Structures are given as structure tokens and as C-alpha cells.
Amino acid sequence: MTEMVYGSVPVRDGEPVLPKWWRTVDRWSLSCILMLFGMGILLGLAASPPLAERNGFAPFHYVQRQAFFGGLAITAMLITSMMSPTVVRRLASLGFVIAFIALALLPFFGTDFGKGAVRWYSLGFASVQPSEFLKPAFVIVAAWMMAGAQELGGPPGRSYSFILTIAIVLMLAFQPDFGQACLVLFGWGVMWFVGGAPMLLLLCLAGVVVFAGTLAYENSEHFARRIDGFLSAEVDPTTQLGYATNAIREGGFFGVGVGEGQVKWSLPDAHTDFIIAVAAEEYGLIMVLAIITLYATVVVRSMVRLMRERDPFIRLAGTGLAAMFGVQAMINMGVAVRLLPAKGMTLPFVSYGGSSLIAAGIGVGMLLAFTRTRPQGEIGDILRARMR
């Protein structure tokens, strides 16, 4: 009866997992992610040796670590993308509980590595940032709650997800990590909007965010210092923003040449938060536009596929994952060109970082799983059936 109403697509019984995955996955998005990772390794070859020299390591120490963590990230992405939405939801819910507890315990057992924000657990051989893993898991849990609210007699999922979002945002703000807090709030707001939230409520939420930002500015020296630096008419050339701005300007259209850039010798975070400055200086605007195009392709193709999806949970979760993926890239590049205040946020799959790479792999794997072609009717099938 369901097939008569909604329509269906043929199912190939007994088809092996890998051929079925390859036939249904968005290969364009998958290719873009692999190219972004390849660009990250290429830029790491330029940006990492100066840092390795300062820290007494072999020249390509950080490149090797990036390749190792990137391999884990790609593996996690591929495995996750082969899962069904139900399995993704169950595993993400379990991961959310673990990441949420880890985030709550950071003030007691975490470390700041001298950066002024307690965001990591030190494991000796590596570090873990719980907020990176919390983000994709939170999107799944919040989407599940919102989808449940759309069912007849369902729970007040929007209210539950809002309470959960506020709890996470407050924990992140107290680290302080205002960038991740804004990203979580933005992802939830996008899902809430797609789920049918009234525009008035969204405007009220925007007003609350502005009010909270004002309080943070007045009471947090860390937050105020970054806002003042962003609003200042002059950029101190000895700051990270000053070095990055000069590098982008020097790069021009075609760059100064491979290995000829100077910003990597001045920026302590050239291999992480300001990797786009290294790309702009050595490879020019061409490389930057290529990176932007790859991110845009993943986001747009995912959104187009999700528009045809009739399962509300998949639509909401996929939209949240795609939005957070694209906005994180925009924030990172926006900081480098001084369109946004400094946030301390990595460029997905391009920047160095174990937690960020693996968490990005899991998040994009979830997105690929949700945007796979499945044997079900789409919204277009429903509309055509009703017009007959």
C-alpha cells in the first residue's frame, strides 16, 4: 500500500554491500572530500616544517601525523557512510552521551595547553577535544527529537532539543570556546527553521544571541580582546591576523611559488587555524577558489539530495550536518581575511588536528549515509501521485 501511495525505486535483492554503497553514494561529494584532504597534505608539507623545527621534531613530523589521523578519518567516513540511517542514529546517540559527559568533565580533568581555554584532554601521545565529536552527534540527536515532535502525539522534541542546545552552548562558552558555541547554536537554528519553526521565534532567538554576546563582551576579557582586535581600524602586523592578512595580500592571483611563502615561519597556527593563509600566499587566489568550490559542492549537492528526501529525520539531520560543515569552513576562512573575529576553528579536512580530522570524517560519513539513494519514494513521487 505504501508503494502505491508514495511510489518506489527498484531494490536489488542480495546485492553486496560495497557495490550497493558505490551505486547509491554521492560520488561527487566523496571526491571533493578526498581532494580537500589531499590539499591539506600538500599545504601541510609547506606549513608544518617550521613548527617541527621550533619544537625539535623531524621536518615532516606533523605531516606524518596528519596523514595518520587523516587515514583514520577517511576510514571512519567510509565505514559510517555505508551504515543505514537507523544504525547511524543509534551509534550517534551513544556517542553523544559519551561526548556530553566528557565535555562536562573538562573543567576538572581538561587542559588548555597554554592557550587560555580548557578544551582538551591530554593523553600524553595525543589530545582529544570532546566538542569536535559532540557536534555531529548532537545534530543527530536534535534532529531525532525534532522529527519525533512532528508525529501525532509525539514528544515536545523542539523544546527538549532547545534545552539541550542551551546546556551545550553554556558549557562551551565557559571554556571559553565561543566559536564552537556559535556553530552548535547555528546548526540547531537551521534544523529548527527547516523543521517549521515560526520566523518570529527565530528573530527572538537572534535577539537573545545578541544580548548574550553583549554580556560576554562585558564580562569576558578573552571575548572582548578578540572583538576589539576585530573592530580595530588598524591591524597589528605582529599578530596572527596581521601575518595572515599580509600573506594573503602578498600571494596575489597565482601566489609567490611553492615553498617560497614566509607566513609559515611567523604564524604558530599556520598549519591549523590559518592554513588558508599559507594556501593564499604560496598558491594564490587560484588555490583558495578551488578550496571554496570543493566545500560549496559538498554542501549544495547534499542540500539538493536532501530536498528530495521524505523522511523528516533524515532531512533535518542531513541539513544540520551540511550546514555546520559549510559554516565551519566559512568561519575559518572568514577569520583569515578579517571578515570575522578570531575563533580558533579548523578548516575541515585541510587543517592539521587529530580530533578535528576524525570528527569531520565521522560527520561527513553521516552526511553521505543520509544522502545515499535509497529504495523509497521521494517528495517528487508524492506530489506527482497526488496530481494524478
C-alpha cell at 247: 600573506
pLDDT tens, residue by residue, 143-189? 999 998 888 777 888 889 999 999 999 999 888 888 899 899 999 99
Give the whole-angstrom CA distance, residue 43 versus residue 214.
37
Percent of the chain with pLDDT over 90: 49
Check whether 370 has a pLDDT greater than 60: yes
Q: What residue has cell string 554491500?
A: 17
| Contact of 348 with 166, CB cutoff 8 Å | no
Going from N- to C-terminal start, the domains of the chain cover 29-383
pLDDT of residue 247: 86
* pLDDT of the residue at 385: 53
**How high is the pLDDT of residue 5?**
37
Residue 239 is placed in which grid cell?
A: 599578530
pLDDT, tens digit (0-9, with 9 covering 90-100), for 303-328: 999 998 889 999 999 999 999 999 99
| pLDDT value at residue 266 | 79
- Rounded CA separation 81/370 (Å): 8
Given this model, what pLDDT does residue 237 score? 66
| pLDDT value of residue 155 | 85
Q: Which long-range contacts (CB under 8 A, 24 or more apart) does 237-245 make?
A: 240/267, 240/268, 240/269, 240/273, 240/274, 240/342, 241/335, 241/338, 241/342, 243/267, 243/274, 243/277, 244/274, 244/277, 244/336, 244/337, 245/337, 245/338
- Least confident piece of the model among 42-51, 59-68, 233-242: 233-242
CA-CA distance, 383 to 68, in Å (whole number)? 47
pLDDT at 1 over 50: no
